[in-house]
Structure 1
Amino acid sequence: MRTTKSWWRASVVVVAAIAVGLPAATATAHPTKDRNKPVIQHGVTQPVFGYADAIRERVFVTSDVDSDGDGARDIVSMDIIRPKASAAGLKVPVIMDASPYYSTVCRGNETECKADLDGDGLNDQWPLFYDNYFVPRGYAVVLLDMIGTNNSTGCPVTGGRADNISAPTAIDWLNGRRAGTDATGKKVVANWHNGKTGMIGKSYDGTLANAAAASGVKGLSTIVPISAISSWYDYSRSNGLVTRANNYSGSLSNTVTNPARRLYCAPVRAQLGVDGDDTTGDYSPFWAERDYVPNADKVRASVFVVHGINDDNVRADHFSKWWDALAEKKVPRKLWLTGTGHIDPFDFRRGEWVDTLHRWFDFWLYDVRNGIMNEPMADIERAPDVWETHRNWPVPGTKTTPVALRPGVDGAAGELVLSTPGNGPKGPKGPKASQETRTFQDTPTMSQANAIRHPSDPQANTANRLVFLSQPLKAPLHISGSPIVKIKASVNGEDTSFAGLLVDYGTRPRFSTVGDGIRTLTEEDCWGEQATFGGFAENACYRQAEKTIATNPQELVTKGILDGLNLKSLSVSQPLVPGKKNAVEVPLLPEDYVFAAGNQIGVVLLGSYSGYSSRAKQTRAEITVHFDNSRIELPIVGGRPAAVRAGL
């Protein structure tokens, strides 16, 4: 036994009986009935087990929750497809995609649903490519219906315990810790399982993977969360501000609920709205139940995170907070950070994704030593389809670097100037730090587009925003991590919001935000084997996609917003004292971005605004910024010396 690099703690064992190095003809042949081992060639499992003769099952497992309050514990339903050889001695791992969407929104870029087409109680339509590709390579694929959805009973609770317990319930059955039955009530056991399960999924599906890992369930070996939520509070709130009201939680629950049970589950949805507390937007036990980050210490599984840095649905702080917590607990991990939005890597980097995912699952579920854990930890998309690798994220060598906000004169934009180090308790102070102030009005109708490029003058201060600009950069400047706007501010009322935008002023090709940066093509390619189930041709072919590119004179790099009532605590709202100067820290969403030489870095300060998908406050308060130590702290790769070279 030997271990890989020291940043991950797991040790793996090569199974001596695994066949290695068989000739290509043997590696691709369909199995004899007594084949009971995978074939490993070139460091990966080979497609030797076929697909058309795969075993299909539907299994029901009783959970420990009663989400609908009917006095009966909820039943979790799962559809399983596995190699025929698993009935004759082959022990296989599981790839599980737990989802609430299989009979409603459905999955993938082509909205594939599950369906029993011939009425025999077995699934005939298998969404996504996982079954076509991995079953012939010796894996079982499990498509699990989250509690309250499709064939499972109960009611969805939008990130609550019933959601979170769905996959661990199935994993308990897979490992013999819980009973399962078929539709007739006959006991079913997973005597074909090798004890290892990997979970994967995009959006809500990936969120269920995060939740399962945070439960510490035994037998979950790895998860691959794609564009996944790590805290439902951060999905519905932003630092005390309501960004999605609880009618969204109820409508999402309604969307995914088994249609036959939607009316029945209405009281559960109504209670979600009450418990979530739209009135204050404060963090509470309701949200703590839906927050997986504090439970990173329970994670036993490795984690392969995939996220879009421009995802405005599940924003990038979901991956960064989870990633940082996992790093602190030394969880084995890997990251793909794309410039697209809420997109599956199958649609933004298909060939590399299938290859990498294959090696990842082989390593963690079949103990195949293929070197994937010796490779750089982070893949980052620098420009459309231009990728670079780094040994960690944020990029090593990144240093928090304070850049002072200096007021402009006669309505002109202010300046961004590199702060000089300070030795006092207040930290760094900018050059010519003063008692000057500038005032603007909280304007809830302000759009994000106008905040960046106001029609009268894209770079001028206005009555409802303050703009600060660097000089044109002398060299590229790379940021990697989460900037923070730190200002001193007073308000002429008891409530407002504080927002900060980081902007790149200068024309260059950029990731488009239209369609999350992806355009679907008519051409298809195929990944795996095909078969006919229930009269339906279950194929492995999918339409290709390509990146869309925009050229704008400016680009929003990242943003953040903070409720003025939550300056001191996210759990307790406290009114502002009119006229009192406050220390305000607005965390911006994480980024990995290079400002080009010749471009200008901009910081825009706002109050409430409609561009954060928020229920913007209607206070129309006047916000006064005090320029004694107001600044933005940028995570600059290379730190202060890099900022000096760039001319900040």
Structure 2
Amino acid sequence: MHLYQFGRIATDLATQKQELQTIGFPIRARNLSKLARMTFALLEPQAHGDVATHEAWANRAVGPETDLNTWLATNRDVIKRDDFYNVALQYLGFQPRVDFDTAHPRTFMRETGLPYQDADINNQDKFVQAIYLLLNTRTANVVTLINALAAKGLLAHLPERFTFFNGKTLPTFNTHQLIREVVWIESDLDTDGDGKRDMLETTIIRPAATNAGTKVPALFTANPYFHGTNDQDVEAATHVPEPTLAVKQPGTQAPATTQDWYPERPDLPHRQAKDVATAGTVYGDEPGIYSLNDYFLARGFATVYSAGIGTRGSDGLRSTGGPDETASAVAIIEWLGGQRQAFTTRTGHTAIKAWWCNGNVAMTGKSYLGTLAVAAATSGTPALKTVISEAAISSWYDYYREQGLVVAPGGFQGEDADVLAIDTYSRQQAPGDAQRVTKQWRNRLDELARRQDRQFGDYNAFWDARNYRHHVAQIKCDFVSVHGLNDWNVKPRNVIKLHEALRAAGSKIHHKIFFHQGQHVYLNNIRSLDFADQMNLWLSNKLLGVDNHAVSVLPDVEIQDNVTAQTWVTTPDFGAGPGVTPKTLPLATTTDQTQSFQDRSTAIFNDQHDDSAGFEQHIIQPQSAYADVRLWLPLLQPDHDVVLEGTGTIYLRVKADAATAIISARLVDVGSAFRLQPTASTVARGNYPLGFDWQYENTLEFAARSHPNDAQLISFSHANLQNPVDGATAIAVSPGQWVDMQLQLQPTRYHLPAGRQLVLIIHGADMAQTIRPTAAPTITVDLSASHLDIPFRTAAQH
């Protein structure tokens, strides 16, 4: 086990004393022994009364023959360091003889990454420093000790207001008295064409202390799934992967522009307010969907959820990432910031303000939720102070298309923009409401199906309007991005292209990036990393104005290693800067070497009765049913560990005996090994406390497989032969014509151990990601004119 802790900050003794006194800890007593007894009593907040406290002490061991109760009864001028840390480790949730040896507690702490003072405690100031450090040390259950004790009632006596400890807000707010209400925010949109401004239903969960005058910040999650999905309709609407790859004419697609293809916003009158209220008249019965938001509810933040246009309770129509969905999310932020009006009912005239909000907003969420956070940030709306986006899309073309091809987000073959719009159109779950816009909704779906263009897959105006990277210069808030290096749903390109766009624009925005080894998942309950604590430091700074130096304290890039479990490395940038060196790996072992294969992937896939997940595993194995429909190209077998970090580009000279073809590439780590699983395993159920007498979350970790596997996908890429460079430019290709192509691999950080082999696979149609053509073109690659450029990191900080 290793517990990384990047969210702890250094403080001086005076600050430590002041913070300890604020939460009721003594900092001076008649002698050291008396101070220890007073302090250790507070470390048993579940024990009410002297008898219960002494019984709790008696259950903790100081050494092989002494319990804490007996030990505290003896006056002493010096507390030996090993005695202190034997007890400290038990408070942190570790067991003597099971987790650590009582003869060497500091050895365990050093190996686990837990901080300690390597000196005996011979005065009261040193004891105060040791206790302060201990309270800010991570427990076995994700949180720091101060938060673990707060979950047992340590802070229950404190007033319900913001209280800060080590630069972070503590769980001092009563989660049993939360106020839940619904309001309807007036937008500038009329997406359903009824001549009225779309009203946006919004659920608010805020501390009761707001009614007593406490102003709180808001965590806003724009969640299109908040009111449910239409699974049955989605199943019917999902596209069957097309059997034909269409031949394009050069210039088939309209050139990409930044012009919005939606009509101008209508100049409609605002709703007139005839009365004013300070509380909602509709109860918000929908629960929160993200435990990180719930974690911050106990710490005084309000949480706000809105599904947006075209969802149950709101007006309008869905558009899958279109500019109107961005405007829908921005409208919520503007109301929270006092710049827009809302009402207590959908059609009424009683206005309500976000009077309880301090005007500072952060957006949170994963996938579509995080995507809308990225989109909203590009508006530059001033109330949005930061974004914590996880597995977020920055360009929808990079989600549903790739270099002139229709591609599927991992695990969802046949999904497309129109299908996702149907999935999230929960407005139809209120049939009396939905029937009023049936015609408009059908027209919208027809429009989406036409403009998304599944025939040619090129980058066009539809996708350009959903490319948020065009507008990074308008981003005014600092960013946190979280992404899985094995996320083949929202692929890593989305976060790195956003990062590169910010860098290219000369942006002064601070962009913190977390890369984990998982797939399409949240990060907040992974045991080895203090993600929630880091976000507490971050949000306390961004939304509450705490001068905790969060921007400089938190690493710029935190990356989970793929070889050694529970290992995180930090770097000042990703795939760039000092320590990163581009390398060229030739594909040919001899000059003038060409190799060919016939792309019979679809036929083999059908004959094998394979599925998408099976294909992804089978195509990368050394021995495979697909061996004859691929090129297997060993690139490197290092005699020492190497680290790939960044975006690799494959330069290929290719020809086919057809006017078009699918060209795919996979970069693979080959060699039997117990690699990490891409899905985190449950370490413990319900042991991660989010607050006092509040909710608990499971603790997860990425563990090594129980059996070795022979190959691991590192990255991949797909392209249409007619789109040799990008998705915006299609060329005419004659059968037998050589084409020079550039395929960008998905960004990666991959630790390749000595002795394992780096292999590039070139193949045709991808049964898991692309359409499935029945034609079987013969594809030839001139390996002597082809190579891979990929960055290697020569140094990394652990």
1:132–1:527 CA contact under 8 A, matched in 2: no
> Which secondary structure does the structure 2 equivalent of 1:215 belong to?
coil
Q: Match of 1:466, as an amino acid?
A: L
Q: Report the count of equivalent residues.
A: 569
Q: Match of 2:430, as an amino acid?
A: A
1:495–1:619 CA contact under 8 A, matched in 2: no
Could you report, residue by residue, the CA deviation over 1:460-511 in whole angstroms, capped at 9, with x for unpaired residues? xx54221111453211111001111111122222100111111111122213
> Whole-Å Cα distance in 2 between the matches of residues 177 and 471 of structure 1?
58
Could you report, residue by residue, the CA deviation over 1:433-475 in whole angstroms, capped at 9, with x for unpaired residues? x3332222223326343332253699xxx54221111453211
C-alpha change, 1:354 and 1:441, in structure 2 (3 Å) is same
Q: Name the residue aligned to 2:779.
A: 623
Q: Match of 1:71, as an amino acid?
A: G
**More moved, 241-250 vs 94-103:** 241-250
Residue 360 of structure 1: which of 535, 538, 560 is its match? 538
> Which secondary structure does the structure 1 equivalent of 2:358 belong to?
strand
**More moved, 387-396 vs 61-70:** 387-396
2:335–2:354 CA contact under 8 A, matched in 1: yes
Q: Name the residue aligned to 1:172.
A: 334
Alignment of 1:167-566 (within 5 A): 167-183=329-345, 184-244=348-408, 248-258=416-426, 259-260=429-430, 264=438, 265-328=441-504, 329-349=507-527, 352-374=530-552, 375-383=554-562, 384-394=565-575, 396-406=578-588, 415=589, 434-445=591-602, 447-453=615-621, 455=623, 463-470=628-635, 472-513=637-678, 517-520=679-682, 523-529=685-691, 539-550=694-705, 551-566=708-723
Could you report, residue by residue, the CA deviation over 1:170-191 in whole angstroms, capped at 9, with x for unpaired residues? 1111222211111253111122
1:51–1:132 CA contact under 8 A, matched in 2: no
Q: CA deviation at 1:57?
A: 2.5
Could you report, residue by residue, the CA deviation over 1:216-258 in whole angstroms, capped at 9, with x for unpaired residues? 2221110011111111111111111101388632232222222
**More moved, 236-245 vs 261-270:** 261-270
Q: Match of 1:337, as an amino acid?
A: F
Q: CA deviation at 1:566?
A: 1.4
> Whole-Å Cα distance in 2 between the matches of residues 77 and 267 of structure 1?
24
> Whole-Å Cα distance in 1 between the matches of residues 701 and 321 of structure 2?
32
> Which secondary structure does the structure 2 equivalent of 1:56 belong to?
strand
C-alpha change, 1:471 and 1:290, in structure 2 (3 Å) is closer
Q: Name the residue aligned to 2:319.
A: 157
C-alpha change, 1:320 and 1:614, in structure 2 (3 Å) is same
Identify the structure with the greater strand proportion.
1
2:487–2:519 CA contact under 8 A, matched in 1: yes
> Whole-Å Cα distance in 2 between the matches of residues 528 and 608 of structure 1?
46
1:31–1:50 CA contact under 8 A, matched in 2: no
1:479–1:593 CA contact under 8 A, matched in 2: yes
1:496–1:617 CA contact under 8 A, matched in 2: no
Q: CA deviation at 1:393?
A: 1.3
C-alpha change, 1:370 and 1:443, in structure 2 (3 Å) is farther
1:171–1:219 CA contact under 8 A, matched in 2: yes
Identify the structure with the greater helix proportion.
2
Alignment of 1:37-52 (within 5 A): 38-52=162-176
Residue 122 of structure 1: which of 279, 284, 296 is its match? 284
Q: Match of 2:555, as an amino acid?
A: P
**More moved, 134-143 vs 311-320:** 134-143
> Whole-Å Cα distance in 1 between the matches of residues 283 and 624 of structure 2?
64
Q: Match of 2:697, as an amino acid?
A: Y
Q: Match of 1:379, as an amino acid?
A: E
Q: Does 1:94 align with 2:93?
A: no
> Which secondary structure does the structure 1 equivalent of 2:471 belong to?
helix
Q: Match of 2:462, as an amino acid?
A: F
Q: Name the residue aligned to 1:424.
A: none
> Whole-Å Cα distance in 2 between the matches of residues 246 and 505 of structure 1?
30
> Whole-Å Cα distance in 2 between the matches of residues 324 and 21 of structure 1?
43
Q: CA deviation at 1:548?
A: 4.6
Could you report, residue by residue, the CA deviation over 1:329-376 in whole angstroms, capped at 9, with x for unpaired residues? 232111110001011113434861221111111111112122332232
> Whole-Å Cα distance in 1 between the matches of residues 574 and 524 of structure 2?
22
> Whole-Å Cα distance in 1 between the matches of residues 692 and 282 of structure 2?
20
Q: Match of 1:542, as an amino acid?
A: E
What is the TM-score normalised by the length of structure 2? Answer: 0.67
Could you report, residue by residue, the CA deviation over 1:540-579 in whole angstroms, capped at 9, with x for unpaired residues? 1233334353321111111111111212552243331222
Q: Match of 1:554, as an amino acid?
A: A
Q: CA deviation at 1:196?
A: 1.3
> Which secondary structure does the structure 1 equivalent of 2:284 belong to?
coil
Q: Name the residue aligned to 1:585.
A: 742
> Whole-Å Cα distance in 2 between the matches of residues 102 and 321 of structure 1?
28
C-alpha change, 1:241 and 1:92, in structure 2 (3 Å) is same
> Whole-Å Cα distance in 2 between the matches of residues 617 and 507 of structure 1?
33
> Whole-Å Cα distance in 2 between the matches of residues 21 and 521 of structure 1?
32
Q: Name the residue aligned to 1:567.
A: 724
> Which secondary structure does the structure 2 equivalent of 1:502 belong to?
strand
**More moved, 319-328 vs 237-246:** 237-246
Q: Match of 2:178, as an amino acid?
A: A
* Unmatched 5+ stretches in structure 2: 1-17, 26-153, 231-280, 606-614
Q: CA deviation at 1:82?
A: 2.0
> Whole-Å Cα distance in 2 between the matches of residues 122 and 253 of structure 1?
25
1:22–1:41 CA contact under 8 A, matched in 2: no
Q: Match of 2:514, as an amino acid?
A: W
> Whole-Å Cα distance in 1 between the matches of residues 21 and 194 of structure 2?
56
Rg comparison, structure with higher value: 2
> Whole-Å Cα distance in 2 between the matches of residues 74 and 590 of structure 1?
39
1:157–1:163 CA contact under 8 A, matched in 2: yes
Q: CA deviation at 1:100?
A: 0.8
**More moved, 539-548 vs 478-487:** 539-548
Q: Match of 1:544, as an amino acid?
A: T
Could you report, residue by residue, the CA deviation over 1:148-170 in whole angstroms, capped at 9, with x for unpaired residues? 12322212111112221222101
1:57–1:81 CA contact under 8 A, matched in 2: yes
1:340–1:511 CA contact under 8 A, matched in 2: no
Q: Match of 1:397, as an amino acid?
A: G
> Which secondary structure does the structure 2 equivalent of 1:346 belong to?
coil
Q: Match of 1:570, as an amino acid?
A: G
Could you report, residue by residue, the CA deviation over 1:82-141 in whole angstroms, capped at 9, with x for unpaired residues? 2233234322211111101112159xxxxxxxxxxxx95333633333454323423221
